[in-house]
Structure formats: structure tokens, C-alpha cells
Structure 1
Amino acid sequence: MNNEKQLLKFQTFQQLHKRPYTFVLPNAWDVISAKIFEKNGFPAIATTSAGIAMSLGYNDGEKIPFEQMLGAVKRIINSVNIPVSVDLESGYGRSTNEVVDNTRQIILAGGIGINLEDGTGDLDSPILDVSLQVEKISEIRLLSKSLKAPLFINARTDLYWLNTGDPDLRLQEAINRGKAYQKAGADCIFIPGLYDMESIKKVRQELSCPINLLSGPNLPSINTLSQVGIERISTGSAPFRATATLLQRITEDILYDNNFQRLMNDNMSYDAITELIGTPE
């Protein structure tokens, strides 16, 4: 861990949330996706847990062993010069201590931020009790201070994403959780699945910290969200899925139409890809 370099990356990442307009944070799943995002001008990237897991043969939802996830994250962090925030899902641990230890490994690997969600993966109890999530966030904040390594905590509530609980109470519950997570040490509140403009405005009015939304077909435009004061939009697994979709269509073209046109259309050359990867240091 290079404390000076990590501090500069953290400060860069933090400042992105203070701009007067919404910024987009793309989610990478491997070195090539991370480098493409960096080369084309994104000032920071995050990882996608779904993209990493699925590219390695696992489904999303912490099905991949943490060591394999960490290995992919390290390769991504070491391949770019811009800040990298890591999708830690719910922490890859049964206890707060395990989650804190996993976060320590992310920090030591050079990650300057994490996503930490309150979804449990348990159909009977899909959202973690708020007090337990607050405990996780508080302990992670203490860890960051003890390591003298700043960490941008993006606390995610899955109430809308999982479509759980009483719909009439969901908005207020999301706001209440956001306030509790911020008080515990979160820097930003992430509410994937929140697309209704009036609800977005209400959240903006109620929360004093930066707000992160997830891209989607029903999300208002970037310009509209900028006017409301939303700081950040994440792409989530969409770029990974778009890539898989293109491969699916290429496969169908070859198998069913004996056609290579889509495969060969506007491809990056072998030399361009080689140059993008570069020489390992």
C-alpha cells in the first residue's frame, strides 16, 4: 500500500462528488475493461461484483470465493492509474469482523472506496437489520482511521432493488437508512432501483451527503439529475452484460447466418489491444 499515492487517488475520487453536475462511474470486471474506461477519459472506475463473478464462472451474490474476487480486484487496481472503488457486496463475511478484515485487504490492495450493501441474499429476511449494517460501517470507518488510509464508503440500501417491504413506506425507510449510514461514517448513499423523479427529489432534500443512483432504462437523464443535485450514477453490470450480448449476437450471426460482418465490424486491432494492455511493470 502506497499511502501517498492512495491519498491522492482518494482526494481525486472525493472531489468528483463535489462537482456541480452528475458524474458517471463505470464498473469494470477485468483489466481490459478497466483500461478501456481509463483510456477514454473516465476519471475513476468501480468494479462490478456481478461482472467479475460471472466472468470467472460464478453467479452474483457472493457465490465467488473472496480470494478470487480479491485477485481480480488487485489486477484491476494495478492496471490503471485512476482511483478504483470496489464492489464488496455485503462484505463477504458472516460477521462484522470478517467484513472488516476483507475491507482491510481491499485497502492494502490499493482500493480507495467500497460499495457495501444491506441486502442479505436471504429470501426470508432480504434486508439486514439497520443496526447491524450501521455496526459494519462504523467498524470499517474505524479501520480506515487506524490504517491512516482514507476510504470512500458508498453505503447501498437494497430496498428498491429488491422491491421489498411496504411500497408506501419504502421511500421513508430508504431515507432513514441513508441518514443512519451517513451518521455511522458513510460518505455516499447508493439506492439502486430508485427511478421515480419525485422520490429522487425527496431523497435529495432529506440527505445531506452525496447520492448514487444506478443507470437503467427508467432513470432520468444525466442533465435532469444534475439539475436536482444527484452526484453520481453507476453503470453496474450493464457494460459487462452489453459485452456478453454482443458476443451472443456474433455467435448467432456465425452459426445461423454464416455471417462474420458483426464480428469484423469496427474492431479494435490486435496491435491496439496490445498497446492498451502495455508492458507489465
Structure 2
Amino acid sequence: MSHKNQSMKFQQFKQLHKQPSTFVLPNAWDASSASIFQKSGFKAIGTTSAGIAMSLGYSDGENLPFEKMIEALKSIVNSVDIPVSADIEAGYGKSVEEVIDNVKQVILAGVVGINLEDGTGNPNEPILDISMQVKKIAAIKELSQSLNMPLFINARTDLYWLKIGDPSLRFQSAIKRVKAYEEAGADCIF
């Protein structure tokens, strides 16, 4: 995909988030499902990490080899003419550098947006330290700017999903994370 075409798709995707009506983003797991969603009139497509993994015989939770994820993303992007946003879980890396290397591949695959979650999959430390997630988001934003290829970052906090912390304080904890993720450069919060 050309840089110009990818930038146009990014702008389209960004505008869908600003429209006054509800924006529904169906989650594709392969090229066929993506094509069906486009033919059904959807203006953009998300991907489902669980759906892609399971369709290839893996369980969710970054168990799918990253190379296979990239292959699936390329196939989905190449099957449609509308923007694609990828669920990349926590970024498939332990360090900020690993995540950045992976996000670069995602951008080069033609994806214009990502979901990045702060859940770790580690039962002993189920949620990423807020400062580490902020570093990831800021580094991803910097990467997209340095490549001159915009990337829409939807930062997800898993405090409620994973039932982390005191339920009476969970909302305040989630708001703290939301604000930090926005300040780091997230375009949207989940």
C-alpha cells in the first residue's frame, strides 16, 4: 500500500471516531471475513486477536507466533479497500523496544490503527505498570511520526476485565490510566 493511500485511510479511520452517530467496528479474523464486512457496508474493520489465533489453531493471549499475526494482518489489509485496525494485544513484546519493532511491522503491513492493552497475561502481575504502558504508547506515537505514517492508538485498560484492585477504587484507577494514556499520545481509550 502506498504511503499516501495509508495516510488517507488513517484520516478516514480518525474521522469515523468523530462522527455524531455510533461507529461500529466489526472484528475480522481472516481475509474472507474482512471482505464480507466491507461488502456489508462497514466503513472500517478491526481485527480480533482471539479470532485470528483460534482460526490458526492457537489460543488467545499472544500464543500465535507474531510472524503468523503479521501474515494474517497483511492478508486482511490486502483484501479490503477500507481502513484496518489491528488488535495486537499487549504488543507481543516484553520490552518497549520489542513492542516498537513489532508495531513497525504492523504499520508496514498497511494497518492504520492498533488496540494496545495493559493486561499482561501473567497471573502474578496481571496488569502492566502504568509507567511502562505510558512508555510504550509514547514510543509508538514517536515511531509513527518518525516513519511519517500515522497510526491510531486505541489504548485499552484491563482493570475491569481482569477485576484488578479494590472494586470501590477501580473507577479512579481506570481514570488515572486513561488520562496517562491520553497524555502519552493515545487517540482513543477502551
**TM bucket normalised to smaller:** over 0.9
Measure the CA separation in 1 of the matches of 2:49 and 2:168.
30
Q: Could you report, residue by residue, the CA deviation over 1:77-128 in whole angstroms, capped at 9, with x for unpaired residues?
A: 0000000001110000111101001000011110000000000001111000
Secondary structure in 1 matching 2:70: helix
Q: Could you report, residue by residue, the CA deviation over 1:41-62 in whole angstroms, capped at 9, with x for unpaired residues?
A: 0000011000000000100000
Measure the CA separation in 2 of the matches of 1:50 and 1:83.
20
Moved more, 176-185 or 158-167: 158-167
Measure the CA separation in 2 of the matches of 1:156 and 1:182.
11
Q: Could you report, residue by residue, the CA deviation over 1:217-249 in whole angstroms, capped at 9, with x for unpaired residues?
A: xxxxxxxxxxxxxxxxxxxxxxxxxxxxxxxxx
Q: Which has the larger radius of gyration?
A: 1
Matched, 1:57 2:57: yes
Shift of 1:164: 1.6
Measure the CA separation in 1 of the matches of 2:54 and 2:62.
11
Q: How many percent of aligned residue pairs carry the same amino acid?
A: 67
Measure the CA separation in 1 of the matches of 2:174 and 2:164.
11
Counterparts of residues 91-130 of structure 1 (less than 5 Å): 91-130=91-130
Q: Give the letter for the 2:93 counterpart.
A: G
Measure the CA separation in 1 of the matches of 2:180 and 2:26.
27
The answer for the alignment partner of 1:147 in structure 2 is: 147
Q: Which runs of 4+ in 1 moved over 6 A?
A: none
Matched, 1:9 2:22: no
Q: Give the letter for the 1:72 counterpart.
A: A
Measure the CA separation in 1 of the matches of 2:15 and 2:84.
14
Matched, 1:38 2:38: yes
The answer for the alignment partner of 2:74 in structure 1 is: 74
Q: Give the letter for the 2:79 counterpart.
A: S
Secondary structure in 2 matching 1:23: coil
The answer for the alignment partner of 1:83 in structure 2 is: 83
Counterparts of residues 225-244 of structure 1 (less than 5 Å): none
Shift of 1:21: 2.0
Q: Could you report, residue by residue, the CA deviation over 1:129-178 in whole angstroms, capped at 9, with x for unpaired residues?
A: 00000000000000000000000000000011111211001111111100
- The size of the alignment, in residue pairs, is 190
Shift of 1:74: 0.6
Cα RMSD of the aligned pairs, angstroms, is 0.7
Secondary structure in 2 matching 1:106: helix
The answer for the alignment partner of 2:182 in structure 1 is: 182
Measure the CA separation in 1 of the matches of 2:147 and 2:23.
29
Q: Give the letter for the 1:60 counterpart.
A: D
Unaligned runs of 5+ in 2: none
The answer for the alignment partner of 1:161 in structure 2 is: 161
Measure the CA separation in 2 of the matches of 1:30 and 1:7.
23
Measure the CA separation in 2 of the matches of 1:154 and 1:61.
18
Secondary structure in 2 matching 1:168: coil
Measure the CA separation in 2 of the matches of 1:90 and 1:103.
11
Unaligned runs of 5+ in 1: 191-281
TM-score, normalising length from structure 1?
0.67
Shift of 1:187: 0.1
Measure the CA separation in 2 of the matches of 1:163 and 1:94.
22
Measure the CA separation in 1 of the matches of 2:169 and 2:100.
31
